[in-house]
Amino acid sequence: MKKRFYITTPIYYPSAKLHIGHAYCTTLTDVFARYKRLRGFECFFLTGADEHGQKIEKNAAAAGKTPQEFVDGIVEGFYKLWDLLHISNNDFIRTTQERHVKVVQDIFSKMLANDDIYLGKYKGWYCKECEAFWTDTQAGPDHICPDCGRPVQTAEEEAYFFKTSKYVDRLMKFFDENPKFLVPESRKNEMINTFIKPGLEDLCVSRTSFSWGIPIRENPKHVIYVWLDALTNYITALGYDSEHPENFEKFWQDPESETIHILGADITRFHAIYWPMFLMSLGVRLPDREFVHGLLMMKDSKMSKSKGNVVDPYPLVERYGVDAVRYYLAREVSFGSDGNFTPEQFVERINTDLANALGNLLNRTVSMINKYFDGVVPEYKGRINDVDGNLEDLTKLTIESYERLMDDLKITDAITQVNELVNRANKYIDETEPWALAKDPEKKANLESVMLHLTNSIYVAGMLLKPVLVTASDKLFEQLGVTGDLLNYDNIYKYGVTGGLKVEKKDQLFPRLDAAVEVQYIQDIMAGNIK
Ligand code: MSP
């Protein structure tokens, strides 16, 4: 089994502040990275900012700033958000950094020298006012500029093209031979049917209509197309083509390392078709997996500033804490499918799973151990009856299915399994009625066993949720008295290790939220009244 891996998020455009959709992608990637580290893998986790392009040039001008000043300000906000969400990335790449610019220019030169890039003519729709070229789809049937709404004219400009035709067969073969490369599977079929089968045109990889980009060394009036610039971040950050290629060799080229890109469905085409072709052209190994997640929408519509329904993650984390927001993101919308954000579901999810189920289980258990056993968890004495045996079996099964699902990036399903264990353990308290056992001295062994099984399931649930509940899992362990070696993941396989722990009652892990008040609060965030 591979013991090293490299995982990336898309690099986000600093054209505006990040919203909850971006936080969704980065948080879920972080959950996976933390899970693998917990399992003993050496991980390199990359995120960053995609800073070039016409839109950024325009937004900067509108804000009266240079593009660099403009992106510097917005990227500060990225750092702040990832800090708030406890994102454990190992590096943060900005495409304006020298390490990136130089390599993108080298890559372009290499492709030009290989004859994979050639100079041709770009035909498209041109808007004189915006000085922008648009494709057929962008101009639409009425031939209107998507930015200013004025009519556009057909025009031609000199441009460089990447020869996709040269690589299309190799790409199809690669898809065939690597069925796990692009998941979910439906995304692969969509790529083949929508883009490849109808015939892929050569890709235009330069622009002359704006200047905020990386200039082509051989012909500096052109800047390199933002996607060729952006995609290569995944290897420039590792030191590809630099004086320090160690991480590139270790995390990308070495077949002992697994490489995984996480991305949203909106950018699948660039990652699944062009990126592999660019890598083939450079003679670099292709990534092992691309996992396409769905988009988080507002009820029935896309998030958009003009509709006043953008969820700003900053005030959300500030009010509800990092654990609640991370848990909501990981648990609510199945990773890989589209989903909706609603304030009601947000509050409901936290109350049901965290306050009522997990928090309550811990609280009840610690109180009972204090009351019946002076705060010391009784030792494990084996299977003494079927009820206890069932909880033991379920705990072991939960670990197995959690790991299988997590390894497949089915993060939501994996978390759901843990949630079911927690629910089962709560029910087990009602079934075993420890308060009744405590009244009968002959049932002491039963009572001991119940407390041990409860603490063991909380211990396992706490460990499995550690990648999500980055601060609450430590608080949970503190209350259970889990320290030292037991903080290592591998101990969850040893059933009964919680015997002898000294528990300590502390504050509720997750106080119950007042639904009416909090739904209103989140609506205020969405309306932009709280920042
Ligand atoms: N800069 C490019 C990516 C280059 S990667 C080499 C880009 N940036 S972006 O800022 O628009 O962010 C894209 C990613 O953010 C999406 O692929 C997705 O992962 C995430 N999301 C943006 N909006 C989202 C939602 N509404 N819901 C879920 N994820 C969303 O495209």
Among protein residues, the one with the nearest Cα to ligand 1's atom 13 is 12
Asked if residues 464 and 402 have their Cβ atoms less than 8 Å apart, the reply is yes
- CA 382–ligand 1 middle distance (angstroms): 51
User: Given this model, what pLDDT does residue 147 score?
Assistant: 79
What's the first-to-final CA gap in the chain, in angstroms? 46
Which of ligand 1's atoms lies nearest the C-alpha of 13?
Answer: 10
CA atoms in the 13 A half-sphere facing the CB of 186: 6
Pairing status of strand 153-162 against strand 203-204: antiparallel
Structure tokens at 42: 């050496």
Pocket test for ligand 1, best of 55, 87, 267 (most atoms within 8 A of CB): 267
- CA 305–ligand 1 middle distance (angstroms): 16
- CA 18–ligand 1 middle distance (angstroms): 10
- As a whole number of angstroms, the distance between CA 115 and CA 367 comes to 72
- CA 215–ligand 1 middle distance (angstroms): 25
Give, to the nearest 10 degrees, the angle between helix 67-84 and helix 54-62. Answer: 100
Among protein residues, the one with the nearest Cα to ligand 1's atom 20 is 22
Is the Cα dihedral 192, 411, 337, 50 positive or negative? Answer: negative
Other CB atoms within 10 A of residue 517 CB: 9
Rg (CA), the chain: 27
What residues pair up with 6 in beta bridges, in sequence order?
A: 44, 259
Q: How far is CA 508 from CA 378, 472, 484, in A?
A: 23, 10, 23
Ligand 1 — pocket residues by CB below 6 A?
A: 10-13, 21-22, 24-25, 50, 230-231, 233, 263-264, 266-267, 295-296, 303
- As a whole number of angstroms, the distance between CA 274 and CA 280 comes to 10
Q: How is the chain split among helix, strand and coil, in percent rounded to 5? A: 55, 15, 30
Asked if residues 213 and 229 have their Cβ atoms less than 8 Å apart, the reply is yes
Asked if residues 391 and 457 have their Cβ atoms less than 8 Å apart, the reply is yes
CA nearest neighbour of 393 among 416, 353, 421, 419: 421
Q: Assign domain 4-310 to a CATH class.
A: alpha beta
Which of ligand 1's atoms lies nearest the C-alpha of 271?
Answer: 6
DSSP three-state, residue 50: coil
Which of ligand 1's atoms lies nearest the C-alpha of 297?
Answer: 26
Asked if residues 530 and 343 have their Cβ atoms less than 8 Å apart, the reply is no
Query: Digits of tens for pLDDT over the chain (531 positions)?
Result: 669 999 999 999 999 999 999 999 999 999 999 999 999 999 999 999 999 998 999 999 999 999 999 999 999 999 999 999 999 999 999 999 999 999 999 999 999 999 999 999 988 888 887 767 788 888 999 999 887 899 999 988 899 999 999 999 999 999 999 999 999 999 999 999 999 998 898 999 999 988 999 999 999 999 999 999 999 999 999 999 999 999 999 999 999 999 999 999 999 999 999 999 999 999 999 999 999 999 998 766 666 666 667 889 999 999 999 999 999 999 999 988 999 999 999 999 999 999 999 999 999 999 999 999 999 999 999 999 999 999 999 999 999 999 999 999 999 999 999 999 999 999 999 999 999 999 999 999 999 999 999 999 999 999 999 999 999 999 999 999 999 999 999 999 999 999 999 999 999 999 999 999 999 999 999 888 888
Pocket test for ligand 1, best of 7, 15, 20, 22 (most atoms within 8 A of CB): 22
User: What are the boundaries of each domain within the chain?
Assistant: 4-310, 342-493
Pocket test for ligand 1, best of 9, 52, 266, 328 (most atoms within 8 A of CB): 266
- CA 22–ligand 1 middle distance (angstroms): 6
Structure tokens at 189: 């079929």
User: Given this model, what pLDDT does residue 301 score?
Assistant: 67
Q: How far is CA 420 from CA 343, 413, 425, 432, 452, in A?
A: 24, 11, 9, 18, 19
Q: How far is CA 398 from CA 92, 412, 460, 475, in A?
A: 35, 14, 9, 22
Shared fold status for 4-310 and 342-493: no
User: Given this model, what pLDDT does residue 129 score?
Assistant: 77
- As a whole number of angstroms, the distance between CA 326 and CA 317 comes to 9
DSSP three-state, residue 421: helix
User: Given this model, what pLDDT does residue 310 score?
Assistant: 81
Sheet order of strands, 132-134 included: 132-134, 117-127, 153-162, 203-204
CA angle, 487 as apex, 362 and 376 as ends, to 5°? Answer: 50
Helix or strand (DSSP H, E) at 183: strand 182-183
- As a whole number of angstroms, the distance between CA 328 and CA 339 comes to 12
What residues pair up with 45 in beta bridges, in sequence order?
A: 7
> What is the SS3 assignment for 258-279?
EEEEEEEHHHHHHHHHHHHHHH
At a CB cut-off of 8 Å and minimum separation 6, what does 13 contact? Answer: 49, 50, 51, 53, 55, 56
Is the Cα dihedral 386, 392, 397, 402 positive or negative? Answer: positive
- As a whole number of angstroms, the distance between CA 526 and CA 280 comes to 44
Which of ligand 1's atoms lies nearest the C-alpha of 265?
Answer: 17
Torsion angle of the four alpha carbons 26, 31, 34, 36, in this order, in degrees rounded to the nearest 10? -110
Q: Where are the alpha helices (DSSP H) in 141-225?
A: 168-177, 185-191
Asked if residues 462 and 473 have their Cβ atoms less than 8 Å apart, the reply is yes
Q: What's the CATH superfamily of 342-493?
A: Isoleucyl-tRNA Synthetase; Domain 1 (1.10.730.10)
CA nearest neighbour of 421 among 382, 449, 463, 385: 463
Among protein residues, the one with the nearest Cα to ligand 1's atom 16 is 264
Pocket test for ligand 1, best of 7, 19, 25, 71 (most atoms within 8 A of CB): 25
Which of ligand 1's atoms lies nearest the C-alpha of 302?
Answer: 26
Among protein residues, the one with the nearest Cα to ligand 1's atom 6 is 231
The answer for 165, left when phi > 0, alpha when psi is -120 to 50, beta otherwise, is alpha
- CA 523–ligand 1 middle distance (angstroms): 24
Among protein residues, the one with the nearest Cα to ligand 1's atom 12 is 12
- As a whole number of angstroms, the distance between CA 182 and CA 263 comes to 11
User: Given this model, what pLDDT does residue 148 score?
Assistant: 86
